[in-house]
């Protein structure tokens, strides 16, 4: 069973062990959370370069050279074969690859007695697939973690699962280059439900899917293209029996990849650092 970073008492003598002494002859050894990194692109590089309360011990990418390069930074072992990667001894897989990778590997990861962090949360928009891996995780007594990603407020939006939400709107504004849509002025390019937006804009679904999972309901989406913006802007409007919430997030891109939200990458680091903290802040 994974230690998940907890302290293990080590008895320094046979006498102490037999007596199970709780005060003398005990040394606390900290066992760090061990991680397998699935996907070695820009987000993977940010994770590999961060010194946290965990350690990367295994890496896999379909382009093996990427895994090999990040192994030099992290000290982990790069694997050319996924089956060998998933059988390696570590606690948790951090997926930073793609929706396709989640669909291909999530169930196998859980079956191999590993927890899973899913960055490409758009994969969970398929209810059948989502229920399949939840069932596997429950049977294996494992957790599937979804980071907050490029937005804020998911913690309290989860109240929608126990108290009625009458309005949940995500308004996203992106540059023409980000969406691949030429525009000379601000223009609405989509208005509808999140599950419909996924079909038309499959590369821009992570935020809406995360909101749907948190709230327990489908999300209304408005997607704008605007040549005056140079970053992704997410506005979230929530109304319910508890009052109303408005959140606006202006995402700066990752320093090495303008297509990646830096906040999304940082949210994974925060999740990993806090997995084993005794004090849990946020719902």
- pLDDT tens for each residue of 90-123: 999 999 999 999 999 999 999 999 999 999 999 9
- 2 pLDDT band, cuts 50/70/90, is very low
Asked if residues 90 and 106 have their Cβ atoms less than 8 Å apart, the reply is: no
CATH topology of domain 154-251: Dihydrodipicolinate Reductase; domain 2 (3.30.360)
Pairing verdict, β 92-95 and 115-118: parallel
% the chain with pLDDT above 70: 89
Helix boundaries (H) for the chain: 14-19, 42-48, 64-74, 82-87, 99-111, 127-140, 154-157, 176-179, 194-200, 206-215, 262-274
d(CA 163, CA 129): 26
- 220 pLDDT band, cuts 50/70/90, is very high
Angle (CA) 230 204 235, round 5°: 60
- 8 pLDDT band, cuts 50/70/90, is very low
Which has the minimum average pLDDT: 18-27, 44-53, 197-206, 243-252? 18-27
Grouping H, G, I as helix, E, B as strand and the rest as coil, residue 13 is coil
% the chain with pLDDT above 90: 76
- In sequence order, which residues have a C-beta less than 8 Å from that of residue 227 and are 6 or more positions away? 175, 176, 183, 184, 185, 186
pLDDT tens digits, residue range 249-276?
Answer: 999 988 877 778 899 999 999 999 999 8
d(CA 203, CA 153): 22
The reported pLDDT for the residue numbered 175 is 92
The reported pLDDT for the residue numbered 19 is 42
Provide the CB-side half-sphere exposure for 96 (13 A, CA): 29
d(CA 240, CA 238): 7
Domain ranges of the chain: 32-146+264-274, 154-251
- 170 pLDDT band, cuts 50/70/90, is very high
Burial, 73: exposed, middle or buried (Cβ in 10 Å; 0-12, 13-18, 19+)?
Answer: middle
The reported pLDDT for the residue numbered 24 is 53
Asked if residues 58 and 37 have their Cβ atoms less than 8 Å apart, the reply is: yes
> H or E segment at 191?
strand 187-193
pLDDT tens digits, residue range 29-64?
Answer: 557 899 999 999 999 999 999 999 999 999 999 999
Quote the CATH superfamily of domain 32-146+264-274: NAD(P)-binding Rossmann-like Domain (3.40.50.720)
Q: What is the DSSP string of 1-66?
A: ---TT-EEEEESSHHHHHHT-SSSSEEEEE-PEEEEEE--SHHHHHHHT---SEEEEEEE-SSHHH
pLDDT at 17 over 70: no
Pairing verdict, β 33-38 and 92-95: parallel
- 240 pLDDT band, cuts 50/70/90, is very high
Top-confidence residue, 187 or 259: 187
Grouping H, G, I as helix, E, B as strand and the rest as coil, residue 261 is strand
pLDDT at 13 over 70: no
pLDDT tens digits, residue range 153-165?
Answer: 999 999 999 999 9
pLDDT at 190 over 90: yes
The reported pLDDT for the residue numbered 4 is 56
pLDDT at 11 over 80: no
How many residues are listed for the chain in this entry?
A: 283
| Mean pLDDT, the chain, integer | 89
d(CA 258, CA 253): 5
pLDDT at 26 over 70: no
234 assigned to active site? yes
């Amino acid at each position: 069973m994974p230690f998940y970073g907890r302290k293990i008492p080590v008895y320094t003598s046979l006498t102490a062990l037999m007596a199970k002494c709780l005060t003398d002859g005990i040394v606390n050894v900290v066992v760090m959370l061990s991680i397998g990194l699935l996907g070695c692109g820009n987000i993977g590089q940010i994770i590999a370069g961060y010194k946290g309360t965990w350690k990367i011990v295994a890496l896999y990418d379909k382009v093996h050279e990427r895994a090999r390069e990040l192994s030099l930074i992290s000290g982990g072992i790069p694997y050319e074969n996924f089956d060998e990667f998933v059988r390696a001894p570590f606690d948790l897989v951090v997926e930073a690859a793609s929706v396709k990778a989640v669909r291909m590997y999530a169930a196998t990861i859980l079956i191999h007695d590993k927890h899973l962090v899913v960055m490409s949360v758009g994969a969970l928009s398929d209810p059948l697939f989502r229920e399949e891996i939840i069932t596997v995780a429950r049977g294996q007594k494992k957790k599937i973690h979804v980071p907050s990603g490029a937005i804020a407020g998911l913690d309290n939006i989860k109240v929608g699962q126990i108290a009625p939400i009458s309005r949940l709107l995500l308004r996203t504004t992106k540059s023409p280059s980000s969406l691949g849509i030429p525009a000379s002025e601000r223009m609405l390019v989509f208005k509808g439900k999140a599950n419909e937006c996924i079909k038309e804009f499959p590369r821009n679904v992570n935020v809406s899917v995360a909101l749907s999972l948190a709230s327990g309901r489908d999300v209304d989406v408005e997607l704008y293209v605007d040549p005056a913006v140079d970053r992704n802007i997410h506005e979230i409007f929530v109304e319910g029996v508890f009052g109303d919430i408005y959140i606006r997030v202006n995402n700066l891109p990752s320093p090495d990849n303008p297509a990646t939200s830096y906040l999304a990458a940082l949210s994974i680091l925060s999740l990993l650092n806090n997995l084993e903290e005794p004090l849990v802040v946020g719902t």
